Amino acid sequence: MHIAIIMDGNGRWAKAQNKKRIEGHKVGVEVVREITTYCAKNEEIKYLTLYAFSTENWKRPKMEVEFLMKLLDDYLKKELDTYIKNEVKFEVIGDIFKFSKKLQDRINLTKEKTKNFNKLTQILALNYGSRDEITRAVKKLCENKEEITEENISKNLDTANFPDVDLLIRTSGEVRLSNFLLWQVAYAEMFFTPTLWPDFTPKELEEIINNFKLRERRFGGI
């Protein structure tokens, strides 16, 4: 099973707690650890894709963006042991070349240290936007003078080595995809929960998964 999550609501959670937005992001990172650990222990879940930083997030205040970059670097440094302990392979989708060399090195080091694990593949979407991803894939096909087909586009997406999404979840009550995996969720089952990301728990994820299992997936058929 491939689960993808739009982790939304950190800022609103912080505001409700009369705290700064960055405090919501800090708690959100703790939830990433809890959800990833839960998925690693669930044999049915093989891929977990998390929308961590979009191409549009650069529009946020400079101070918040800088904090998020540092938070990501700290997260990868601290969580390497968690990845190793739970045998989680770390992967990234998106254009990471806009990040600092230090952060790129941290990302690549984490990928290298976890490349042989196979209990769960955790995929962080970083500087990711689905329209950008599809555009880059089509450009690559044109440059290589390859035929533009669904199969060839899929092979040139950032997610070429991963299966399509089975279950998409968005927290915080918003009901939209926000430029996330538009190609890969074509036949995914979607769940939108009002729970803000810092309040999201493995128990709620388990309930959503159980609900997902009750749905009939016809993939366009009868």
pLDDT in tens, 197-221: 999 999 999 999 999 999 877 776 6
Q: Does domain 2-128+166-214 sit in CATH 3.90.1150.10? A: no
Which entry of 10, 18, 57, 164 is annotated as an active-site residue? 57
Q: Is 127 an annotated catalytic residue?
A: no
**pTM for the predicted model, two decimal places:** 0.95
pLDDT for res 216: 79
pLDDT for res 215: 83
Is it the case that residue 116 has pLDDT exceeding 60?
A: yes
As a whole number, the mean pLDDT across the chain is: 95
φ and ψ at residue 107, rounded to 5 degrees: -60, -50
Give pLDDT tens digits for 1-50.
999 999 999 999 999 999 999 999 999 999 999 999 999 999 999 999 99
The gap from C-alpha 70 to its chain's centroid, in whole angstroms, comes to 18
Q: Is 57 an annotated catalytic residue?
A: yes
DSSP letters for the chain: -EEEEE---HHHHHHHTT--HHHHHHHHHHHHHHHHHHHHH-TT--EEEEEEEEGGGGGS-HHHHHHHHHHHHHHHHHHHHHHHHHTEEEEEES-GGGS-HHHHHHHHHHHHHHTT--SEEEEEEEEE-HHHHHHHHHHHHHHTT----HHHHHHTSTTTTSPPPSEEEE-TT--S-TTSSTTTTTT-EEEE-SS-GGG--HHHHHHHHHHHHHS---TT--
- Break the chain into its structural domains and give their ranges: 2-128+166-214
pLDDT for res 222: 55
